[in-house]
Amino acid sequence: MASNFEYGEKESKHTERAYLAPEVVRQRMRTLEVLAPRSGENIIDIGCGPGLLVHDLATEVGTQGCVVGVDTSPAMLELAERRCADLPQVAFAAGDATNLAYDDATFDAAACIQVLLYIDDTDRVLAEICRVLKPGGRVLLMETDWRGMVLSSDNQALSAKMAAAWGRKVPSPNLPVRLGPLLREHGFAVVAVEAFPILSTSYRREGYSAGMLAQFASLARKEGTVSETDSRHWLNELKRQGAEDAYFFCVNRFLFLAVKR
């Protein structure tokens, strides 16, 4: 489901640990609150990753409902299946967001969190979500606009190079500004939009922000826009700031709730 990215066992376990960071847990709780799953509903989580949201959705719909998690990564699906092994109302499937293997009007609701930025054909994904939802079905999308990243750094020019490398790697690093019109074009009425800050004021090697920034540095180094020395210096600076209680990272994610017309 993620173009240009592969999530093997190592990457999937790192992602799982990052998704357990307090700031991402708060995001997941807000996602549940807004989507408001009800007992007996059928829900699909597209790009389910290690199954954390699937697990929470399943506890809300109960055994009279069903939650399906779809992902392209076998390693992610293995983690998700293990997490939800005691929930008979959960099913997982390998699949692509651009070609969902479900009949028309199957689901009452859908979630698609931090998936569209990786996919070239956003229109196709939204059309597929609309197709598999029942009339009046709800979809919750959440995406980040990486232009708004705020980071404590002694070298803002170097930080900008790191962020730019990420922007070149993913197809849609700044998607939220276009999501409202895209949803309306694909048969949805947008009923709610809100910003959700992912804020970290402490540095944790296994946390969300540290992992993302390390990925930025790796991409910039591989494409040759920064040197190995600059990359190492930048990452060490972040660790130093953490040790000195001076670390600050924030980026806004934007939540869209829409209903199929």
Query: Which tens digits make up the pLDDT trace of 89-112?
Result: 999 999 999 999 999 999 999 999
b/e for 180-219, b at 16 or more Cβ within 10 A?
eebbeebbbebeeeeebebebeebbeebbbbbbbbbbbeb
Please provide residue 108's backbone torsions phi and psi, each rounded to the nearest 5 degrees: -80, -30
For range 60-88, the mean pLDDT: 97
Rounded-to-integer distance, Cα 203 and Cα 207, Å: 7
pLDDT tier at 4 (50, 70, 90 boundaries)? low
What gap in Å lies between CA 134 and CA 138, rounded to an integer?
9
In whole angstroms, give the CA distance from residue 146 to residue 128: 26
Q: Per residue in 111-169, pLDDT tens? A: 999 999 999 999 999 999 999 999 999 999 999 999 999 999 999 999 999 999 999 99
Amino acid (one-letter) located at 48: C
pLDDT of res. 11: 87
What 3 state SS string does 182-234 have?
HHHHCCEEEEEEEEEEEEECCCCCCCHHHHHHHHHHHHHHHHCCCCHHHHHHH
Which pLDDT does position 5 carry in this prediction? 66
pTM for the whole structure: 0.94
Q: What confidence score (pLDDT) does residue 1 get?
A: 43
Nearby residues of 147 by Cβ (< 8 Å), 6 or more positions away: 173, 174
Question: For the stretch 133-150, what's the b/e string if a residue is b when 16 or more beta carbons lie within 10 angstroms of its beta carbon?
Answer: beeebbbbbbbbbbeebe
Nearest Cα residue to 21 out of 188, 184, 208, 174: 208
At residue 66, does pLDDT exceed 80?
yes
Give the pLDDT score at 169.
Answer: 95
Q: Considering all CA atoms of the chain, what is the largest pairwise distance in Å, rounded to the nearest integer?
A: 56
What are the phi and psi torsion angles at 229 (to 5°)? -65, -45
Pairing of strands 90-94, 107-113: unpaired
What is the model's pLDDT at position 3?
47
pLDDT of residue 6: 72
Sign of CA dihedral 71, 259, 172, 194: negative
User: d(Cα 169, Cα 75) in Å, to the nearest integer?
Assistant: 22
- DSSP string spanning 144-159? EBGGG-EE--S-HHHH
Residue pair 135/105 in contact by the 8 Å Cβ criterion: yes
- What percentage of the chain carries pLDDT values higher than 90? 93
| Fold annotation for 9-260 | Rossmann fold (3.40.50)
Average pLDDT of span 72-89: 97
Q: What is the pLDDT of residues 32-57, one digit of tens each?
A: 999 999 999 999 999 999 999 999 99
How much is the pLDDT for 7?
A: 80
Q: What's the whole-number mean pLDDT along residues 205-217?
A: 93
pLDDT for 237 beyond 70: yes
Q: What is the mean pLDDT of the chain?
A: 95
Task: Check: CB of residue 41 under 8 Å from CB of residue 110.
Answer: no
